[in-house]
Amino acid sequence: MTTYHNPVLLPESVAALVKNPDGTFVDATFGGGGHTRKILDSLSSKGRLLSFDRDADAQQNIPDDPRFTLVHHNFSFIKQFLRYYNALPASGILADLGISSHQIDEGERGFSHRFDGPLDMRMDRDATLSADVVINTYSENDLAKMFYTYGEIANSRKLAAAICSKRTGKGIHTTEELKTAIADCTPKLTPAKYLSQVYQAIRMEVNGEMKSLENLLIQSADVLEKGGVLVVISYHSLEDRMVKNYMNSGNFYGKKETDLYGNLNRPFNPIPGKPIVPGDDEIQQNRRARSAKMRIAIKN
């Protein structure tokens, strides 16, 4: 474990991932390097690991290991970079989705409603789209759609209207200013849950997280060898539904298609059918683990 981030389902995910210690593996979400170090411990001297992270802060966690390569880029381009590093085909891919504890706890990054800071939320600080841009320039309809789709917020239209009303003049530029602007929309009994949904929706929009996940899933079928393993840990229903549908059916709608002989036409075989979730002990030690779901699939 690292102070930067406590990896969820650490032994379970790596045990599912590494079947061939001589193989080439990908940690799509490097973060604090917890999963990466556990994977490296499971590899032989012939093994190889490439990890992706677009946050420059992650570079402080790079392990000193000749078998390791950090790719400072979005995992959405996994196929392009594995080809560049002559790392095809891969034996396994692990993606621990969402946001790291470090990013949440750094107030100046603007990811959390618990700390005051600028409305930023960019995982890649070189990106042009920030939470400030979203909140101050998106139309009321676009904001409502974002909050409903990514935050599953019931009063998304009221929320969007409140933001558009309060941003006139000097605008809304900090996390505290945003909380104040939407105070009338925030439930009195469950404010933390509601605000978490609001901030999650903005973060997912800023970083294009659902599109990146879609790209990763599609490209994983191209970069994995036959029998290669795909392991994905998700933290909310939107991500989990996309992962489940793709693993089960090969598309994002969950519609199973068969060939002329009645065989399922899909690139992966999910094992087991149901997601794996953390035990009570892990949840007590790491509250972030309570919403985690891990799905595993084998490349056909």
The residue length of the chain stands at 300
Question: Which token pair is 72?
Answer: 């400072």
Q: What pLDDT, on the 0 to 100 scale, is given for residue 59?
A: 81
Contact predicate 165/197, CB 8 Å: no
pTM score = 0.91
CA dist 77 and 213 (Å) reads 10
N-term to C-term CA, the chain: 33
Contact predicate 79/29, CB 8 Å: no
DSSP type of residue 276 = B
CA dist 23 and 112 (Å) reads 38
Give the number of other CB atoms < 10 A from CB of residue 137: 12
Tokens 């590093």 label which residue? Answer: 85
Full set of structural domains in the chain with CATH:
10-101+209-299 (3.40.50.150), 106-207 (1.10.150.170)
CA dihedral 147, 192, 276, 152 (to 10 degrees): -20
Contact predicate 110/103, CB 8 Å: no
Question: Which token pair is 89?
Answer: 């085909």
Contact predicate 235/292, CB 8 Å: yes
pLDDT in tens, the chain (300 residues): 345 557 999 999 999 999 999 999 999 999 889 999 999 999 999 999 999 998 877 788 899 999 999 999 999 999 999 999 999 999 999 999 977 665 666 667 877 888 889 999 998 888 999 999 999 999 999 999 999 999 999 999 999 999 999 999 899 999 999 999 999 999 999 999 999 999 999 999 999 999 999 999 999 999 999 999 999 999 999 999 999 999 999 999 888 888 888 788 899 999 987 899 999 999 999 888 899 999 999 999
CA dist 279 and 295 (Å) reads 15
Q: What pLDDT, on the 0 to 100 scale, is given for residue 1?
A: 39
